[in-house]
A and B are shown apart, each in its own frame.
Chain A
Amino acid sequence: MAEHTVPKKIYAAIWATLLAMTLITTLVAFVDLGRFNTVVALAIATFKASLVVLFFMGAKYTPRLTRVVIICGIFFLGLLLAFSMVDYLTRLWPA
């Protein structure tokens, strides 16, 4: 079959990393980094998410087209967030 079957070891490794990451992000939340808390939490979440997408959802092995679909999703979601925030962040700027 055309599919690429991933060895079980990799799945187990990904699983372990994800659990470890969950533990880390929970512990880091108790360390006061000021504004950076959010950045760190989101960075860890994005790393975990990319692990799930690449390995568990198999985006790493699917044809290029599905990767374009994923990137499109991220781009347009980012667009919605960014352009809405442009409005809210610049409301208090003096005219």
Chain B
Amino acid sequence: MSAAPTAAVHPREHYLNVDYGIRSWLLTTDHKRIAILYMISVTVMFFIGGIFATLIRLELMTPAGDLVTSDTYNKLFTMHGIVMVFFFLIPSVPAVIGNFVLPMMVGARDMAFPKINLLSWYLYVIGAGITLYCITIGGVDTGWTFYTPFSTTYSNTYVFGSIVGILFAGFSSIFTGLNFIATIHKLRAPGLTWRRMQLFLWSNYATGVIMILGTPVVAIALILVAVERVWHIGIFNPALGGDPVLFQHLFWFYSHPAVYIMVLPAMGVVSELVTTFSRKRVFGYEFVAAASIAIAVFGFLVWGHHMFVAGISLYSALLFSIMSYLVAIPSAVKVFNWTATLYKGAISYRTPMLYAFGFIGLFTMGGLTGLFVAALGVDIHVTDTYFVVAHFHYIMVGGTVMAYLGAIHYWWPKMFGRMYPEGWAKLSAGIIFIGFNVTFFPQFLLGYLGMPRRYHAYAPEFQVLNVMSTAGASILAVGYMLPLIYLLWSLRYGEIAPANPWGSTGLEWQTTSPPPTHNFEETPVVTEEAYAYDKHPEMEFVA
């Protein structure tokens, strides 16, 4: 793996150079090494999903479907969806950042079930392997939502294989959630009460709860689709009296909370970044912590807003719509508290903070357009159009991916003992921000003008906005390539990082960078609230 930094600052042993060789990585139960394994596999899947996105945007430059056939295009957006949702967004922040940082923030030596943690990574790799195999031999064209009866009867692509791959990723997600819940409950350091836990732990705890409660339901829904495909007999078959809308109920019961699995850990990251880089306690700690739990619970009440025009009854639509307005409140609480934390803070504009600003801005736009689509009247017009595509990309790409990159830069010194190059990092953050907005803002307009989703060829009047979106996508692609390059570069040539470059009060920063295998020389004792910067004037920037 990386050469041990030989500078004088790191004479001793840490988790990277304690052991070498393939076996030490592939059979490790050290949560930090598992996090690195996850980071590599998640990055590979991100760029595979990115290739599909690029091909989609290239195809959509012209109204006529002239780059790829419509079948290929259907497979492109399906595989873009499956790879990005199940193999990047859901595991990225929890499995990479969470696995690495959570035990250290809790003051433990490792996750509660280290062997299950490794099993979780292997399940992810097997799932990714099966899905990539299905992609190479033919792909799947049902959309990442697998709506019946198309997925069960009318599609003749590798639906069964993709479902098996996703089931493996689902089990990997369940075991990650299981580990988070058990670790946070049972392995907290002495003195670390629930009120003193950092907010990243609260949001990952809520994420674990959603993973545990939601994933099994989509697992059984997809198993039922697979059964119906293999035996041509199933419970969604209209000829037997089966109801395709029932599949949508079971699917969205998980898939809406799944969007909170994707965004909640990112919110936890932003809470860490905002407090560290404004040197202030978070505003309203209890509210932000309670908001995470509220999002996890309310997230299970709203799934019907994906189905307003799908055929559910008027009264259930009213219920789901009012509930969707309820679930928006905890997210708003978080955003208000972040901005209040920034107020009068000693803000330093380091790269992680730029990503945090990006998150707050773009996630808020995504969240507010969520209020548009939650209104029944508006949703009739905008659902299944590019307005909804823009809405969820603002939250997933503008939110989760931005926070993920911010977290990678923020904890990079802790992971590898190296600093990233600040200049390049700020440049790529700017490029990503511009590229993102040029890509996805036009899609709001396209959606409102009536361009449906998943269209291989579209009406000519939509072309100008589509060309803008494709231009933005190429800028975004460049923006995403830069971190890959300079972060790899920093592994060998990056400046040696001190133990606590940001002067953060986080428990994970109170040990060396990179940390020893058992995280802390002796188990730390927590004596004060999180983010107690007012009590620590002596902690200031070192990097």
Interface residues of A, Cβ cutoff 8 Å to B: 65, 72-73, 76, 79-80, 83-84, 86-88, 90-91, 93, 95
Contacts and interface: CB of A to CB of B under 8 A. Distances in A.
B304 A87 contact: yes
B315 interface: yes
Contact of B217 (A80, A86, A87): A80
Contacts of B300: 76, 79-80
Given A65-B185, A72-B213, A76-B213, A83 B315 contact: no
B213 A87 contact: no
Contacts of B304: 83, 87
Interface string B180-205: 00000100000000000000000000
Interface in B381-409: none
B253 interface: yes
Given A79-B300, A79-B301, A80-B217, A93 B315 contact: yes
A44 to B, nearest CB: 26
A46 to B, nearest CB: 21
Which are the 8 A-B pairs with shortest beta-carbon distances? A87-B316, A90-B315, A90-B313, A91-B313, A87-B312, A86-B316, A84-B249, A76-B213
Contact of A80 (B253, B312, B314, B316): B253
B315 A86 contact: yes
Contacts of B464: none
Interface residues of B, number: 19
12 contacts: A65-B185, A83-B303, A83-B304, A83-B320, A86-B313, A87-B304, A87-B316, A90-B315, A90-B316, A91-B313, A93-B313, A93-B315
A1 to B, nearest CB: 18
A90 B318 CA distance: 11
Contacts of A73: 213
Contact of A90 (B209, B213, B249, B314): B314
Contacts of B9: none
A68 B213 CA distance: 14
Given A84-B249, A93-B315, 5 more contacts: A79-B300, A79-B301, A80-B253, A86-B319, A87-B304
